[in-house]
């Protein structure tokens, strides 16, 4: 079974991806982790309970302002307002992390090549990354970036200096999917109907999908949700535990047999070459 801890704060908006991260990425008490695009901060806080040091990198200053109180709750957690596609903003953190994670972020990035270069800079030699995002057809995409084929996506990572790339489609397993439908999506749809609020894809300004988390209805009402966070998160914790009891909650379809690459939840992992460590030591010895 996956280790899923109860985290009372912050209020959680989409906890299922935590199972995907914990099932597919080896994480330990000695790992230093960078999460790119922290969203509600739920995954970031959960990682802080597992790892030595966690840094949340987020382009939205408004989002980080709402989450700063978590730094007082977790001494090993820090948030950084920055854009990893800009080398000057990444430079203070180069080579600092054994793991880099980005969940549902890449679809909002206008320069994916620069994104992967940023991931490479952040990783320590032999460090691993995990990226997952919805790759949607043009007609229904809520982000600004999509990919026509997995080869093009893999090429971006390779050009950034990342290796051991694997790309697949992440789907909920049968038992976990039934629990998610009954206890996750069902109550969420009912709540949206009662509150007369649309999905994540709608904003108060109209039909345009938000591209940063501080534009979402959830973040705009974070102060209200925070009052009920322990109860809300306890519910989600129970749902995650039930999903976990069914066995691995997520399956990775590496052959894209269940859904085509152009319309799936892309799951991608890889590494920074360990050789970079030897090169760094050699350069240090010569100075």
**Residue 35 · residue 55 · CB < 8 Å:** yes
Question: Tokens 């322990």 belong to which residue?
Answer: 230
Residue 150: both structure tokens together: 């997995």
Show the 3-state SS of 56-88.
EEECCHHHHHHHCCHHHHCCCEEEEECCCCCHH
DSSP conformation class of 91: G
User: What SS3 class is residue 174?
Assistant: helix
Query: What's the mean pLDDT when you consider all of the chain?
Result: 89
pLDDT over 90, % of the chain:
77
**Residue 174 · residue 249 · CB < 8 Å:** no
45: left (phi over 0), alpha (psi -120 to 50) or beta: alpha
Residues forming beta bridges with residue 97, ordered by sequence position: 123
DSSP conformation class of 184: I
DSSP conformation class of 214: G
Q: Of the candidates 63, 17, 75, which has an alpha carbon nearest to the alpha carbon of residue 37? A: 63
- Indicate if the pLDDT at residue 21 is higher than 70: yes
Residues forming beta bridges with residue 170, ordered by sequence position: 252
The enclosing H or E element of 15 equals none
- Four-point Cα dihedral 194, 198, 204, 206, nearest 10: -140
Q: At 126, is the pLDDT very low, low, confident or very high (cuts 50, 70, 90)? A: very high
Q: pLDDT for 253-276, tens place per residue?
A: 999 999 999 999 999 999 999 985
- Please name each of the domains of the chain with its CATH number: 16-172+250-286 (3.40.50.150)
pLDDT value at residue 215: 82
Question: Tokens 């694997």 belong to which residue?
Answer: 166
- Indicate if the pLDDT at residue 193 is higher than 70: no
d(CA 26, CA 99): 9
* Buried residues in 133-169 as b, exposed as e (16+ CB within 10 A): bbbbeeeebbbeebbeebeebbebbeebebeebebbb
pLDDT value at residue 190: 66
Q: pLDDT for 67-97, tens place per residue?
A: 999 999 999 999 999 999 999 999 999 999 9
Long-range contacts of 56-59 (CB under 8 A, 24+ apart): 56/80, 57/82, 57/84, 57/93, 57/122, 58/82, 58/213, 59/83, 59/212
Q: pLDDT for 169-184, tens place per residue?
A: 999 999 999 999 999 8
Residue 86: both structure tokens together: 């800009």
Q: Of the candidates 246, 134, 250, 234, which has an alpha carbon nearest to the alpha carbon of residue 179? A: 246
């Amino acid at each position: 079974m996956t280790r899923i801890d109860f985290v009372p704060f912050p209020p959680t908006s989409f906890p299922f991806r935590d199972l995907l991260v914990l099932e597919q990425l080896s994480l330990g008490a000695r790992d230093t982790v960078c999460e790119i695009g922290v969203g509600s901060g739920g995954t970031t806080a959960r990682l802080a309970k597992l790892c030595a040091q966690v840094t949340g990198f987020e382009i939205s200053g408004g989002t980080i302002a709402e989450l700063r109180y978590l730094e007082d709750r977790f001494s090993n957690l820090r948030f950084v307002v920055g854009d990893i596609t800009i080398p000057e903003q990444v430079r203070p953190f180069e080579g600092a992390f054994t793991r880099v994670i980005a969940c549902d972020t890449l679809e909002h990035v206008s320069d994916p090549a620069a994104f992967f270069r940023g991931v490479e800079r952040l990783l320590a030699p032999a460090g691993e990354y995990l990226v997952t995002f919805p790759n949607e057809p043009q007609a229904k995409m809520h982000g600004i970036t999509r990919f026509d084929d997995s080869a093009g996506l893999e090429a971006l990572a390779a050009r950034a200096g990342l290796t051991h790339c694997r790309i697949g489609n992440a789907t909920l397993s049968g038992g976990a999917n039934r629990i998610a439908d009954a206890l996750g999506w069902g109550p969420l749809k009912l709540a949206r109907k009662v509150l007369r609020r649309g999905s994540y894809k709608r904003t108060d300004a109209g039909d345009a999908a938000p591209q940063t988390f501080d534009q979402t209805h959830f973040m705009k009402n974070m102060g209200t949700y925070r009052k009920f966070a322990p109860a809300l998160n306890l519910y989600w914790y129970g749902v995650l535990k039930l999903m976990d009891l069914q066995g691995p909650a997520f399956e990775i379809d590496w052959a894209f047999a269940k859904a085509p690459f152009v319309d799936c939840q892309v799951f991608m992992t890889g590494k920074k070459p360990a050789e970079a460590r030897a090169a760094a030591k050699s350069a240090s010895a010569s100075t």
